[in-house]
Amino acid sequence: MKVIQSSIIRAIVAIAVGVLLVMYREETTVWITIVTGVLFFISGCVSCILYFVERDKTGRENDRKRFSGEAPEEKLPTFPFVGIGSIILGIILAVMPGSFITWVVYILAAILILGAINQFVVLASARRFAHVPVAYWFFPVVTLSTGIFIIAKPMESASFPLKIIGWCMMFYGVVELLNAFKIKQMKRTYNLIEQNPTSTDEELDESVAVEEKTESTNMNSV
């Protein structure tokens, strides 16, 4: 299992929560709060599990390279701050929904801020092996600004900010999916260039296509 799977699951959960908030914002009752909490809890657990699996795998690979006299190049995955926050939020919402309904807006806004910060960290890490277009930095800025605005401008009615958060959650989820696949592709291309520095662009594109097909076949056979 790879870290990209954590991003995909996190994105799907964000989109699902966003749809719930947009469609049922007028009826933000206990059951919606519980469902939202369960989704965040599952997403957080998966993110943390994948982090420890990937960290252990990377550590073994680096140890192998040190033992063979090679310089360790693999960087440890980013600590899942968003995953930890999602677990805490999920437990709070699922176990004590009635006590926290009035705070849901601010909690979700805080999650948006954490999600945006996480995207900044991921993009900064991606700069090690590829150029990151300016547009990719703009997306988390939108998410971060929305979260800060919701917290800084409290409103008497929770309906409107919940609608904003819902749409922003869906936006965040889509951006997370795009970033995950794009960064995975850039890293794969970077690794191929490192292995075959004299390859042409056409050969690299063909190698990437073959690798993607092989990976897809392996996943289908599992």
Highest mean pLDDT, choosing among 56-60, 114-118, 149-153: 114-118
Whether the CB-CB separation of 153 and 165 falls below 8 Å is answered with: no
Q: What tens digit of pLDDT does each residue of 41-93 get? A: 988 888 888 888 888 888 787 777 777 777 666 666 777 777 888 888 888 88
- Check whether 4 has a pLDDT greater than 70: no
Tell me the average pLDDT across 31-42: 81
Report the alpha-carbon distance of residue 61 to residue 67 in Å, rounded.
10
Residue with tokens 């897809």: 216
Cα–Cα distance for residue pair 11/9, rounded to 1 Å: 5
Query: How many H-runs (helices) and E-runs (strands) does the chain carry?
Result: 8, 0
Confidence of residue 102 (pLDDT cuts 50, 70, 90): low
Q: How far apart are CA 148 and CA 31, in angstroms?
A: 27
C-alpha distances out from residue 77 to 71, 138, 180, Å: 18, 23, 14
- For the record, the structure tokens of 56 come out as 């252990």
Q: Given pLDDT bands bounded at 50, 70 and 90, which one contains residue 101? A: low
Mean pLDDT across the chain, nearest whole number?
Answer: 75
Residues 6+ apart with CB under 8 A from 118: 78, 81, 82
- Overall number of domains in the chain: 1
Share of the chain above pLDDT 70, in %: 72
Q: What pTM, to 2 d.p., does this model score? A: 0.60
Give dist(CA 94, CA 127) in Å, integer: 38
Does 145 score more than 80 pLDDT? yes
Handedness of CA 30, 49, 131, 210 (dihedral sign): negative
The reported pLDDT for the residue numbered 141 is 92
Write out the residue range of the structural domain in which residue 117 sits. 3-221
**Tokens 């989704």 correspond to what residue?**
39
pLDDT in tens, 8-19: 888 888 888 888
Q: For the CA atoms of the chain, what is the radius of gyration?
A: 20
The pair of structure tokens assigned to 80 is 């899942």
Please list, in sequence order, all residues whose beta carbon lies within 8 angstroms of the beta carbon of residue 60, skipping any fewer than 6 positions away.
none
Structure tokens at 143: 């998410």
**CA-wise closest residue to 147 among 178, 107, 197, 177:** 107
- For residue 136, the model assigns a pLDDT of 83
Taking residue 7's Cβ as centre, other Cβ atoms within 10 Å add up to: 23
Q: Phi and psi dihedrals of 28, rounded to 5?
A: -75, 75
